[in-house]
Amino acid sequence: MIVLFLLIAAVFVGLHWYVWRRLVRDTTARGSAPRRIGTVALVVLPGLTLLAVRDDLPGIPFRLEGVVDWPGFLWLAVFLYVVLALVAGEAVRPLLLRALARRDVKRAEPVTAPPGTGAAPAPADDVPAPALLARRVFVSRVVGGSAAAVALGTVGYGTAGLLRGPQIKRLTVPLAKLPRGAHGFRIAVVSDIHLSPLLGRDFAQHVVDTINSTQPDLIAVVGDLVDGSVENLSTAVAPLAQLRARHGSYFVTGNHEYFHDARRWVGVVRDLGLHPLENARTELPGFDLAGVNDVRGESEGQGPDFARALGDRDPARASVLLAHQPIVIDEAVRHGVDLQLSGHTHGGQLWPGNLLFGLTNPTVAGLDRYGDTQLYVSRGAGAWGPPVRVGAPSDITVVELASGQA
């Protein structure tokens, strides 16, 4: 663990040195104000990032944590795309230098004397060192400025998209065992709201209003509702009491609930009118709805128990399982689940995060089939860490069940 921590720290520091070198040292004069400002920024911003990744900062009131979290997490996102853009710029840099060198050579070519004058052609002079330095600085400014512009534009667009709120997706999922009477049953699936110092009560209210606007038959909140303690976020989650669905609202824990006393949060959710499914199931018209605790709960003796949630049920009935992490799909298949609804991945949240999540999750986003079980993974409504989404817009999905007998 210590070796891993030291390796991560070395990479973090090394990449910041690389960014400082390309954006500050190579583009500014030694001792100049721009160099001093850039150097200070590349010390302060990563420091804020390290503070932001800690929950419940000691000595800082919760309401003020956003003052640290906003710049700290936004820098983390900007830093990611600055590094990617600068690395891409390394391929462009020699091409620009070569083009400028050819231009300078042409300018320095000897001038041919007019015929009949007897004058000898003027010799081409070597390009002086100051000109070479100016050329390198110019290219560094072009590449560095372009990288910064791309990073800031990408993060700005991704932040605005998240703050606008989740999109509504609609998906029809056929279930062979679903009776005709339940054909068209609509489940509003929302996961990973991640209420925090960054996304508070106003964001929760927007999510609730969006869900209610779909007029679902049932609402499924599939984990990672909060990033904070009950004391700090009880006001932020209050709008969930306004959720309205004909067959009620249900909740299962995500891994982040276990960072902040999941037992207490389950009680709060229940008080707000949602029905926690802690390794439990309920019979609804046409199908069984089950839910399992997140695998993170295993460290506290509260992990998923599929036998308890799905055992002794009528296998002739259709079944829908709420499970925060898609990695439990194998257990769902073994227990004859027809449809598993999950979240957790955020769809990658920040490209190319989808590629990384694909290494550890069977499905990153969307609908897939595993044996006789279908798995739908929502990209989630909020965000963890940077309040930014790139290539993975947030969503609330209305899953409409279709009867195979209809």
**Contact of 356 with 348, CB cutoff 8 Å:** yes
Residues 137-165 have pLDDT tens digits of: 999 999 999 999 999 999 999 999 999 99
pLDDT attached to residue 125: 47
Query: Which whole-number Å values give the CA distances from 258 to 226, 253, 375, 401, in the listed order?
Result: 10, 8, 24, 31
pLDDT band of 122, cuts 50, 70, 90? very low
Residues whose CB falls within 8 Å of the CB of residue 345, separated by 6 or more in sequence, listed in order: 326, 357, 361, 363, 364, 365, 377, 379, 380
Indicate the pTM of the whole model. 0.91
Residues whose CB falls within 8 Å of the CB of residue 102, separated by 6 or more in sequence, listed in order: none
**Whole-angstrom Cα distance, residue 242 to residue 36?**
52
**Whole-angstrom Cα distance, residue 207 to residue 191?**
11
CB atoms within 10 A of CB 130: 8
The mean predicted confidence, pLDDT, of the chain is: 92
**Cα–Cα nearest to 175, from 336, 397, 344:** 336
pLDDT attached to residue 374: 98
